Amino acid sequence: MTENSPSEGTFHLMGGEFTNAGSASSELKSTLIKVGVEKSIVRRVAIAAFEAEMNVIIHAVAGTLRYEITTEAVTITVTDMGPGIENINQAMQPGYSTAPDWVREMGWGAGMGLPNISKHSDLFKIDSVVGEGTTLEIIFDLKEKNADS
**Interface contacts to ligand ATP, rule CB under 6 A:** 51, 55-56, 58-60, 80, 83, 85, 91, 96-99, 108-115, 134
> Shortest distance, CB of residue 29 to ligand ATP, whole angstroms?
18
Per CB under 5 A, residues contacting Mg ion are 55, 113
Chain-centroid distance, C-alpha 41: 14
Comparison of 36 and 95: residue with beta carbon closer to ligand ATP:
95
> Shortest distance, CB of residue 71 to Mg ion, whole angstroms?
31
Comparison of 63 and 113: residue with beta carbon closer to Mg ion:
113
Reported residue count of the chain is 149
Q: Which residues pair with 140 in a beta bridge?
A: 74
Task: Please report, in angstroms and rounded to a whole number, the separation of the first and last CA atoms in the chain.
Answer: 39
Dihedral sign (CA 97, 130, 23, 39): negative
> Shortest distance, CB of residue 144 to Mg ion, whole angstroms?
30
Comparison of 57 and 69: residue with beta carbon closer to ligand ATP:
57
Nearest of 101, 13, 105, 102 to residue 51 by alpha carbon: 13
> Shortest distance, CB of residue 16 to ligand ATP, whole angstroms?
13
Query: How many angstroms separate the CA atoms of 8 and 64, rounded?
Result: 13
